[in-house]
Amino acid sequence: MKNTSEPIVQIRGLTKSFGNHVVLDGIDFDIEPKQVVVVIGPSGSGKSTFLRCCNGLEQPDGGTIDICGHRLCDHGTLLDDRALNTLRAEVGMVFQSFNLFPHLSVLHNITVGPRMLRGMSKEEAEAAALSLLQKVGLAHKAHVMPASLSGGQKQRVAIARALAMQPRVMLFDEPTSALDPELVGEVLQVMKVLAEEGMTMVVVTHEMGFAKEVADVVVVMDGGKIVEAGPPSEIFSAPSQPRTRSFLQAVL
């Protein structure tokens, strides 16, 4: 563990059902500053729903979520929209399917959030966006449209766009699952650099190499519960839970 002070994210008793299907069944978890948490688990175990609850995209049924000391969700009730938007700016999210705005240039995709939600001037937002594009190796693509980019490039733009809001924590939901295999590495490399720079990150991924190399903590979800959590050395070499063992056998 790199650092332990006030948790950036504190979750207690988080529950969520769709109809009578319990998808999150009492999640307790803390994410410490600069921690890289990798979440693994079988399809349908609630990983995406967990991330979506952490930035208010999904309304939990019960439990509390505190982000940077602010209560995002109090016993299942979300903040009002205004407070929610402010808080969401602290939580960057990167999706499997990139979700870039197709009608906006790469640069404009990155500047729209800071200009509308952070009140940045056009010049300031563009300067920041260009430096982020440089960071993800795409400064030369600032003025093209997303459709002309490869999947790996789109995802790197999506990461730059999330970073432009200066979030305190970044959530990644299977960021490389939609990519051709030869494009996975360039996205993981950008994420690895972010982790090395001290970004607090929660990453849902099936990339076990990334988990082993970069994660401080690996969280195993199954059936809406955290069945096991620990450093990668422990989870991969000596998992204590049968459900972790069977999941790892299937993916490794």
Q: Which of 12, 25, 30, 44 forms a contact with ligand ADP (CB under 6 A)?
A: 44
- Shortest reach from residue 21's CB to ligand ADP, in Å: 6
Residues 46-65 that bind Mg ion (CB under 5 A): 47-48
Q: Is residue 175 a contact point for ligand ADP (CB under 6 A)?
A: no
From the number of C-beta atoms within 10 Å of its C-beta (0-12, 13-18, 19+), residue 250 rates as exposed
- Shortest reach from residue 48's CB to ligand ADP, in Å: 3
Contacting residues for 51 by C-beta, under 8 A, at least 6 apart = 39, 93, 171, 173, 202, 204
What is the spatial distance between Cα 124 and Cα 205, in angstroms, rounded to a whole number? 34
Q: Which of 34, 47, 88, 161 forms a contact with ligand ADP (CB under 6 A)?
A: 47
Contacting residues for 201 by C-beta, under 8 A, at least 6 apart = 35, 36, 37, 169, 170, 171, 172, 191, 194, 195
- Shortest reach from residue 44's CB to ligand ADP, in Å: 4
What is the spatial distance between Cα 123 and Cα 31, in angstroms, rounded to a whole number? 34
Contact at 8 Å (CB) between 157 and 149? yes
Q: Is residue 205 a contact point for Mg ion (CB under 5 A)?
A: no
Q: Which of 10, 48, 111, 155 forms a contact with ligand ADP (CB under 6 A)?
A: 48
Contact at 8 Å (CB) between 54 and 11? yes
From the number of C-beta atoms within 10 Å of its C-beta (0-12, 13-18, 19+), residue 110 rates as buried
From the number of C-beta atoms within 10 Å of its C-beta (0-12, 13-18, 19+), residue 112 rates as middle
Contact at 8 Å (CB) between 201 and 191? yes
In terms of CB distance, is 78 or 165 closer to ligand ADP?
A: 78
In terms of CB distance, is 48 or 155 closer to ligand ADP?
A: 48
- Shortest reach from residue 47's CB to Mg ion, in Å: 5
State the number of binding residues for Mg ion (CB under 5 A). Answer: 2
Q: Is residue 26 a contact point for ligand ADP (CB under 6 A)?
A: no
Q: Is residue 244 a contact point for ligand ADP (CB under 6 A)?
A: no
What is the spatial distance between Cα 177 and Cα 204, in angstroms, rounded to a whole number? 10
Q: Which of 2, 3, 18, 166 forms a contact with ligand ADP (CB under 6 A)?
A: 18
Q: Which of 9, 23, 31, 132 forms a contact with ligand ADP (CB under 6 A)?
A: 23
Residue 45 interacting entry, from ligand ADP, Mg ion, none, C-beta within 5 to 8 Å by type: ligand ADP
DSSP summary character for residue 79: P
Say which residue the tokens 């410490």 belong to. 32
In terms of CB distance, is 96 or 105 closer to ligand ADP?
A: 96
Q: Is residue 200 a contact point for ligand ADP (CB under 6 A)?
A: no
- Shortest reach from residue 86's CB to ligand ADP, in Å: 25
Residues in the site for ligand ADP, rule: CB under 6 A?
A: 18, 23, 41, 43-49
Residues in the site for Mg ion, rule: CB under 5 A?
A: 47-48
